[in-house]
Amino acid sequence: MKRYYVDAFTGKGCLGNRACVVDCGSVTDAWPTDEEMMKQARENALPETAFFLSDGDSYRLRWFTPDIEMDLCGHATLATAFVISSLADFSGREVVFDTCSGKVSVNVASDGMLTLVFPSRPPESAHLPQNIMDSLKFKPLEVSKARDFVLLYDSPEKVAGMSVDRALFDKYNIDPGGVIFTAQAVEGADCDFVSRFFTPQATILEDPVTGSAHCSLIPYWSRRLGKSRLVARQISSQGGILYCEDCREQVRISGYAKFVE
């Protein structure tokens, strides 16, 4: 097995989110055992470790955090497509993955931009569990949920300044989801909205850049702002930039990646 380390959703002023990508060979080879993949993910101590097998013209893909196997992961999918497209000429083509969430694809542009085509997960109005509400430094204006809870705030400063009391926050397991904190960007900013993403009971509390969270954030902000094309910034300490498009049943999430030197 070959391992690659990639920073995904990098950009000006953004370090992106690091993933380990493990090439497990072809479908004639067996997956490593679940126990081995989980062990590698724990040893990597990164938000996600992706494992892929080549299968003719497509690839099989699985994602592991240090705690669980995930149902969908954006930055590790982007990182895997970046590795595959760097090993062969995929410019102007797409990398297709067979995953537990169905088929997902990544378009590879000649300038190096990669575009995820993911399912749309519009959030609906919801009630936040009381222990999570009590754990928050700032209370949200609005709560909705698809896989993840989406908490709306009135300023990017509150999102940037958010912290949680982990003793309370970790009492609720949203397996496999998390809590998104989001706000509209200020006028004149280089993005339309900002976000952060925390996961209760996870080894890594805050995910630096969360592509899958934008399956909900894109339809949410597209509806609120009345536009289908959006620029998003995830304002963790590392930061990431995502170019987004709402396509009704699907969302398109674009960004750049680079190998870790």
Which tens digits make up the pLDDT trace of 91-103?
A: 778 999 999 999 9
Sequence spans of domains, the chain: 2-117, 124-253
Is the per-residue pLDDT at 57 higher than 90? no
Please report where in the chains the tokens 């992961």 appear, as a residue: 73
Contacts of 187 (CB under 8 A, 6+ apart): none
Mean pLDDT, range 149-177, rounded to an integer: 94
* Separation between Cα atoms, residue 118 and residue 212, nearest integer Å: 8
pLDDT at 44 over 80: yes
Residue 90 has pLDDT above 90, yes or no: no
With beta carbons less than 8 A apart as the criterion, state whether 135 and 164 touch: yes
Q: Give the CATH class of 124-253.
A: alpha beta
Q: What is the pLDDT of residue 224?
A: 97
Q: What is the CATH number of domain 2-117?
A: 3.10.310.10
The residues that bridge with 22 in the sheet, in sequence order, are 3, 51
Q: Would you place residue 27 in the very low, low, confident or very high pLDDT band (cuts 50, 70, 90)?
A: confident
Supply the residues annotated as catalytic.
48
Residue 123 vs residues 8, 146, 236: alpha-carbon distances, Å: 25, 4, 22
Let me know: does 86 contact 78? Beta carbons within 8 Å. no
C-alpha torsion angle, residues 224, 135, 169, 128 (rounded to 10):
-40
| Model pLDDT, residue 242 | 97
CA distance 244 to 136: 28
The pLDDT value recorded for residue 29 is 86
How does residue 261 score in pLDDT terms, banded at 50, 70 and 90? confident
